[in-house]
């Protein structure tokens, strides 16, 4: 399961639909707090988060995930239009996509972060 966190509903839905079309199971959260609640007790394989969100930024979320032993190794992909987010704390996430990005670039990063297991998701 991939969890997409973005306060921009349109962006979250677009990414979700694209990844689902490529065979991935996806859920969406609108905030960092909602994401933390959804992650607890679930087996997510990847987190994709916007960086600039109200309340808790994607960097803050990724730092919290890295600080929790149960989620410390969970792959995290941050996305943002801001260079400031990209360089904020690169040790707290595994990959970064600058918005706007091509959907194919998202797929490449997802496959890279999931490794060989991503091949089993491809339905096309």
List per-residue pLDDT tens for the chain, 124 residues long: 999 999 999 999 999 999 999 999 999 999 999 999 999 878 899 999 999 898 999 989 999 999 999 999 999 999 998 776 656 566 789 999 998 999 999 999 999 999 844 444 444 3
Contact criterion met (CB below 8 Å) for 18 and 111: no
Q: Is residue 25 part of a domain?
A: yes
CATH of the domain at 74: 3.40.50.2300
Domain extent at residue 15: 2-116
pLDDT at residue 118, as a whole number: 45
Q: Is residue 123 part of a domain?
A: no
Q: Please write the tens of the pLDDT for every residue from 57-89.
A: 998 999 999 999 999 999 999 999 877 665 656
Q: Is residue 70 part of a domain?
A: yes
pLDDT at residue 88, as a whole number: 59
Q: Is residue 122 part of a domain?
A: no
User: Residue 43 gets which letter from DSSP?
Assistant: -
Q: Quick one: which of 30, 25, 27, 35 has its CA closest to 9?
A: 30
pLDDT at residue 113, as a whole number: 96
pLDDT at residue 124, as a whole number: 36
Q: Is residue 124 part of a domain?
A: no
pLDDT at residue 7, as a whole number: 94
Q: Is residue 71 part of a domain?
A: yes
* Distance of alpha carbon 37 from alpha carbon 40, whole angstroms: 6
Q: How many domains does the chain have?
A: 1
């Amino acid at each position: 399961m991939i969890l997409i966190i973005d306060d921009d509903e349109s962006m979250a839905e677009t990414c979700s639909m694209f990844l689902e079309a490529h065979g991935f199971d996806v859920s969406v959260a609108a905030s960092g707090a909602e994401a933390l609640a959804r992650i607890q007790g679930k087996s997510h394989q990847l987190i994709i988060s916007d960086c600039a969100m109200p309340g808790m930024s994607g960097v803050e979320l990724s730092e919290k995930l890295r600080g929790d032993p149960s989620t410390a190794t969970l792959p995290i992909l941050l996305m943002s239009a801001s260079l400031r987010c990209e360089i904020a704390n690169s040790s707290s996430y595994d990959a970064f996509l600058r918005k706007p990005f091509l959907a194919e670039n998202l797929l490449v990063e997802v496959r890279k972060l999931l490794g060989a297991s991503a091949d089993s998701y491809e339905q096309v």
